[in-house]
Structure 1
Amino acid sequence: MTGAVWAADELPLRELPGIEDRDYWIPGEVNAEGKLEALQEVVGSAAVPFSGSQDGPIQIALIYPSADVSDFWARNYLAMTRRLDELGIQYETTEFASRQIEHSLQSTYASQVEQDADLYDYVIFGPSELATQADNISKLAGNDGFTTYVWAFHTPLKYLENQPDAWFDFSSAAGALTMCDYMLSRLGNDVTMALNRGIPGITDNQRSGDFKACVEEKGNWTTVYEHYGEYQREGGF
């Protein structure tokens, strides 16, 4: 969700098929026409240095599962800070790291940051799992002391009392369909598979669920076993 900040009672901006079956909105329902493309054009172009002045560095709190096996979070953090450097914006970051499965630790961090609102200008929250952290997202978004962004999800939950200022992510669903086509081209039809899934919730429903549905429908694959490995190395055994 980009551009203007919409109140919950102003959403969705449009209705797409299946909306009544979801407890969240998909990007096409909450992005104003042309906003996403405009954002992609800007962030995909060379940085234009900031020409204004700052009284001091902006303060950014990051609550995210960066202490995990995946380098996804580290790469995103580096991309963000390098871009700020290119823009010539002074900043300081405070990181609140957890593992992907440490939901309660993230809750503790969210409460701590919310109580220390005067210390931060921006809070970037990468939820361990969207529904699990819904109350914390709403709590942070309801604090006027800072601007709240949700990182790694772009499917706003319909039932949040307070919507954050922006959601940003890549599309897990699009990735699942791309992987589906790739695996069908590599392995063909009538394959028997076991599926090591992630953490129960919307992200895994899109990544694993959409992949599974795609290969079963397009390639007549059969799933004989599946379990949730919770994105942990040990979960693969």
Structure 2
Amino acid sequence: MKSILCSFFLIYSSFLLANPITFTPLSAYLQQHPEQRFISQKFASVVTSPGQKSQIAQSRPLRIFVVYPGKQISDYWRRSIASFTARLDELNIQYEIKTHYTRPSMAQEQQERLLNKATRYRADYIIFTLDTIKHSELISRILKVGMSKLILQNITTPVLQWQDTPPFLYVGFDHVKGSQTLSHYFKEKTHKQGEYGVVLWSPGVISETRGQSFIDDIEHSSSLKMVQSYYTQASRQSAYRSAMNILKQNPKVKFIYACATDLALGVLDAIREKGLTHQVMVNGWGGGEKELAALQQGELDVTIMRMNDDNGVAMAEAIKLDLAGKSAMVPQVYSGDFALVTKETSQKELAHLKAIAFRYSGLPSSTP
């Protein structure tokens, strides 16, 4: 059986979605599936409460295989694993975990090799992400084989093509909601007037859901004009180059919107070099340690801060319910909470938010 599954995984390379990935926004999904609202609300209360030990006797440890784009400045992915395993320990669930961190722009062939390894490992749960069509091809194979239950991290918009055989769980923080919150902040600060630039992730889901949703919201409800936007190589260095181009060609921009932590820091590098720290605003996205340090230094203007560890806790609690035969109590999507944090946010309030957001993964230092 093992060799058959591995062979299938390797030869199923001819599969390609007939159409581009079709996502259902979380708000629309909940309207289409009203029963999910109650399940989600009840599950969310479990996530924010102290863990209760599992009473299920396991015949063996669970096998969990993780492939994360964790080789970046953002600490989101590393904190995700830390909170996930800490909650599993608190729940008294026995497990073995194999974690592989890759670069965000890692070649599909390398990711495919890792997922083939997960198949050979006969993982009970595979935790992966979705940002490109290539990712969707790999995910479709896993869903087709059906041997492992799939958790998709950092994605909260169900894929229409997989509605008949969906992943076990979509988990993360709603990119659209977070981006629109930042849009509202910039509209208020600029009085809805002026020019701005955008620095995007590499082409894919992150750029679309965080970038285009921001641009659309700005266009629909303000007179702000986007003068230039760039896709990047999902790195600080490429964001720096993009921001330098924006600042050279459009010296009157009021802000540059960045779609991720690494991009925000690259934009900051360019703003510092041009001596425009107090003239051009820039945001973070996620509220990890590096972003909070930049906020405290007064260089970063604002970020949308994820209650980071909730995503790891949610994965652990979903597995606990599944282990107990209660998978019907696991929502299709878990989307964690945000808080808008600015450089004016008080130290007391920031300390309170950190205590919630990093309650398992450890608090970042209070000084830059």
- Whole-Å separation in 2 of the counterparts to 1:217 and 1:182: 15
Q: What one-letter code is carried by the residue in structure 1 that aligns with 2:48?
A: G
From 42, 49, 64, the equivalent of 2:46 is: 42
The match for 2:22 is 23
**In the alignment, does 2:194 pair up with 1:191?**
yes
Moved over 3 A (4+): none
The residue aligned with 2:175 is 172
**TM-score scaled by structure 1?**
0.82
Paired letter, 1:24: F
Q: Is the 8 A contact 2:21 2:159 kept in 1?
A: no
Displacement of 1:22 in angstroms is 8.0
Question: In structure 1, how many angstroms separate the alpha carbons of the residues matched to 2:107 and 2:175?
Answer: 21
In structure 2, how many angstroms separate the alpha carbons of the residues matched to 1:22 and 1:140?
16
Aligned residues: percent identity?
A: 21
Give the structure with higher Rg (CA): 2
Where does residue 6 of structure 1 map in the other structure?
A: none
For 2:65 and 2:21, the matched residues in 1 are separated by 31
One-letter amino acid of the structure 2 residue matched with residue 137 of structure 1: I
Any stretches of 5+ residues in structure 1 without a counterpart? 1-20
Match of 1:90 in 2: 94
- Aligned-partner Cα distance in 1 for 2:85–2:98: 12
In structure 2, how many angstroms separate the alpha carbons of the residues matched to 1:26 and 1:103?
28
Number of the residue aligned with 1:4: none
d(CA) in 1 for partners of 2:161, 2:55: 40
Which has the higher mean CA deviation after the structures are superposed, 187-196 or 160-169? 160-169
What is aligned with 2:157? 155
Q: Does 1:109 align with 2:114?
A: yes
| Match in the other structure for 2:353 | none
Aligned to 2:133, which of 127, 131, 140? 131
Distance 2:145 2:99 in 1: 19
- Unmatched runs of 5 consecutive residues or more in structure 2: 1-19, 242-368
| Aligned match of 1:214 | 217
Summarize deviations over 1:150-194 as a string: whole Å, max 9, x none.
111122322248422221121000001110111222232212111
Please state how far the C-alpha of 1:141 moved relative to its aligned partner. Answer: 1.8
Residue type of the partner of 2:133?
A
CA offsets 1:92-150 (integer angstroms, 9 cap, x no match): 21012211111412222123322x153x21111123x1422111111112233321111
Alpha-carbon distance in 2 for matches of 1:84, 1:193: 44
| 1:141 to 1:117, Cα distance in 2 relative to 1, 3 A | farther
Q: TM-score, normalised by structure 2?
A: 0.54
Aligned counterpart for 2:75 among listed residues 71, 74, 78: 71
Q: State which drifts further: 40-49 or 180-189.
A: 180-189
CA contact (8 A) 1:64 1:106 kept: no
Residues 103 and 133 of structure 1 are in contact (CA less than 8 Å); yes or no, is this contact kept in structure 2? no
Opposite residue 198 of structure 1, the aligned amino acid is: W
The 8 Å contact of residues 138 and 164 in structure 1, kept in 2 or not, is answered as no
Match of 2:312 in 1: none
The whole-number CA distance in structure 1 between the counterparts of 2:133 and 2:224 is 30
Alignment RMSD, CA only?
Answer: 2.1
Are the counterparts in 2 of residues 138 and 162 from structure 1 also a CA contact under 8 Å?
no
Residues 141 and 148 in structure 1, CA contact (< 8 A), matched pair in contact too: yes
Q: How many residues align?
A: 214
* Contact residue 132 and residue 203 of structure 2 kept, 8 A: no
Match of 1:143 in 2: 145
* In structure 1, C-alpha distance between the alignment counterparts of 2:154 and 2:55, rounded to whole Å: 30
- Counterpart residue number, 1:15: none
Distance 2:195 2:72 in 1: 30
In structure 2, the partner of 1:122 is: 125
Amino acid at match of 2:153: W
Q: What is the rounded CA distance, in whole Å, between the counterparts of 2:151 and 2:171 in structure 1?
A: 8
